Structure 1
Amino acid sequence: MEKRTLLTDADREAALQDLPGWSYDAHARAIRRQFAFADFSEAFGFMTRVALAAEKMDHHPDWSNGWNKVDIALSTHSAGGVTALDIVLARAIDAASRLALTGAGN
């Protein structure tokens, strides 16, 4: 399957089963998750790691940051919703969050 092809509802839900904390936002046609860290510095470090991974993939999240929290929404806008590319990026984001939360890579 082409990574930028819209996932079926069943495929999207199956993928979300392997992504704890992520949920589907039907209004935004995106998957979402909020991450919380000890402080702003840890949140910003996490965002930097995600930004580097996203740039390599040429696929960028919609996100916001408030002190120690980072809210992320993933959607392939050109496809009109969630694609395999969003799932791959969500996995990379989860890996970056584990690094931030364990202090590795800081």
Structure 2
Amino acid sequence: MDVESRLKDLPAWRREGEEIRRTVEAPDFPAAIRIVDAIAVKAEELNHHPDIDIRWRTLHLALTTHDQGGLTELDFTLAAVIDAIAAEHGA
């Protein structure tokens, strides 16, 4: 998989080793929690779960496919979903 090419479609994401990462700034803490909740629903549907670190209204997200030992198409699919969710919540 050409990770750099895939990241061109996801400009908010950056590669760090075998992960892709993004930081989301929500308008406020309740919005940050709503974003996390919406991500959780989609992650369950895809059976693919990001690492999420919440710091007040700032979310740090990391994606990798642990059982495949690195990045797969599923990571980029969920990244695009996360981008849409963040945009829906004004982040």
TM above 0.5, yes or no, is yes
Q: Map of 1:20-99 to 2, 5 A cutoff?
A: 20-26=11-17, 29-99=18-88
C-alpha separation in 1, matches of 2:14 and 2:68: 19
Q: Which has the larger radius of gyration?
A: 1
SS of aligned partner of 2:33: helix
Superposed displacement of residue 63, structure 1: 1.1
TM-score (norm. length: structure 1) = 0.83
- The RMSD of aligned alpha carbons is 1.0
Structure 2 counterpart of 1:45, which letter? Answer: R
Distance in 2 between the 1:77 and 1:95 partners? 24
- Percent identity, aligned pairs only, is 38
Tell me which residue corresponds to 2:10.
Answer: 19
Residues 30-79 of structure 1 show CA distances to partners (whole Å, capped at 9, x for unaligned) of 00000001111000000000000000000000111011000000000011
Q: How many residues align?
A: 91
1:4 paired residue number: none
Partners of 1:70 and 1:53 in 2: how far apart?
16
Question: Aligned to 2:11, what secondary structure does the other structure show?
Answer: coil
Which ranges of structure 2 fall in alignment gaps of 5 or more residues? none
Q: 2:11 and 2:27 mapped to 1: Cα distance?
A: 20
